[in-house]
Amino acid sequence: MLLCSFFKKLPKLTALFCVGLLISLASQAADLTQIKTQIKQQEQKIAQRKQEQNKLQSALKSQENKINNVIGTLRETETSLKETQKIIAETNRQIKSLEQQQKAQKAKLAKQLDAIYRSGNPNSVVEHLLSDDAKNNDRMMVYAKHMNQSRLALLDELKSTQKQLEEQKAYLSGQQQEQKTQLSEQKKQQQALQKAKNERQSTLNQLNKTLVQEQSRLDSLKANEQALQNEIKRAEKAAAEQEKREREQYAQKKQAEEKRTNKTYQPTAQEQQLLRSGVGLSGKYAYPVSGKLLHRFGETQGGETKWKGIVISARSGTPVKAISGGRVILADWLRGYGQVVIVDHGKGYLSLYGFNQAIFVKVGTLVNAGQKIAEVGNSGGQASSGLYFGITQKGVPKNPLTWLR
């Protein structure tokens, strides 16, 4: 009512302008409400997508951990199978040798028996033994006794060889049965591995659908990188505490032993490894795996995110080797990096090995240069197999190629 009276007091054109302005403001307010609703809906979709991504990442972690475990068991079975095959080969060699020995013994015995018969009628030997010629009689008695003892000894050897043959053949039969069981187990493990890989691929396909938009991928890369940094900090702290404890234990043991023996203490191989660890990285080292460089340090990974290490193409199952001695501070699955091993070399230097299909070391383990620590894979959601390799110094990523020859 007041608004109407207000417009009556205004000039006609002014009133029309004010009415138009009010209509425009009302329209803008409606548009703003609609935009806010759309933003809210979009935020809900993003939250739902992130929830779905987290669920799929959790499934991917479970599946790739299963692959890691199955491969570990499979490698043990393969090693055991190789040992069994060696034993079977050696047993077959021994059987062949015994059979040749048995053949030679039989031939020797047959030759002795044949010689007696060829000397004439066996009755003539008896007649000679019963003759009046004492010397001849003594000689023939000694000869007969010697021949008899020789045949008996040869028969005993033949029986012993026969027994050994039977034992070796029985042992071989047992080993062949063991081999059959191991081959059956290996087949089951290979089937389980293939099943886990198929499940992983299905999860990966679903996950990629949720990461269609570039921004979504960029956010995921940033989150993965931050999670890695947080995990490294936690692992470094735990490793430093373990290093301190072990060095204190070594110092106490050294002091006690030198006091007891009054001699300079000679550290064990493991203690020598402990003393050598923590010297940092210097010079040039062999590549952890051989292969073509797929991504270099500093290359764009997505948006403004860049590679903090290098990616080396290599076949799945290729051994991954530590570039230098140090302590394993992380051996676990991490989002975006898959099965990861991180080795602390001391003086703030860390080397990181990611995308593995299987890990063969545990946290706290001291490793040597060139030691197998993992196998190349495509874990962490990678499309192809390869190794992610990085080096950091006091938390700052460095170009790994500087340390590789």
- For residue range 336-389, list pLDDT tens digits in order: 899 999 999 988 899 999 999 999 999 989 999 999 999 999 998 888 999 999
* Residue range(s) in the chain whose domain bears CATH number 2.70.70.10: 224-258+271-403
Q: How far apart are CA 289 and CA 351, in angstroms?
A: 14
Please provide residue 363's backbone torsions phi and psi, each rounded to the nearest 5 degrees. Answer: -60, 135
Averaged pLDDT score across all residues of the chain: 78
What is the percentage of the chain residues whose pLDDT exceeds 90?
Answer: 24
* Residue range(s) in the chain whose domain bears CATH number 1.10.287: 66-208
Please give the pLDDT value at position 41.
56
CATH 3.40.50.2300 at 224-258+271-403, yes or no: no
Q: Which of 289, 285, 280 is nearest to 355 (CA)?
A: 289
User: Which pLDDT tens digit goes with each residue over 210-232?
Assistant: 655 545 666 667 777 888 888 88
Q: Could you write out the DSSP letters of every residue in 130-182?
A: TSS-HHHHHHHHHHHHHHHHHHHHHHHHHHHHHHHHHHHHHHHHHHHHHHHHH
**Residues β-bridged to residue 293:** 312
Instruction: Quote the pTM value.
Output: 0.58
Q: Where are the beta strands (DSSP E) in 53-187?
A: none
Higher local confidence (pLDDT), 112 or 15 = 112
Please give the pLDDT value at position 68.
82
- Does residue 267 contact residue 257 with C-beta atoms inside 8 Å? no
User: For every residue of 244-284, which 3-state class applies, written as one string?
Assistant: HHHHHHHHHHHHHHHHHHCCCCCCCHHHHHHHHCCCCCCCC
Q: What is the CATH number of domain 66-208?
A: 1.10.287
Please give the pLDDT value at position 164.
83
Q: How far apart are CA 376 and CA 385, in angstroms?
A: 7
User: Which pLDDT tens digit goes with each residue over 277-329?
Assistant: 778 898 899 999 999 999 999 998 866 678 999 999 999 999 999 999 999 99
Please give the pLDDT value at position 129.
42
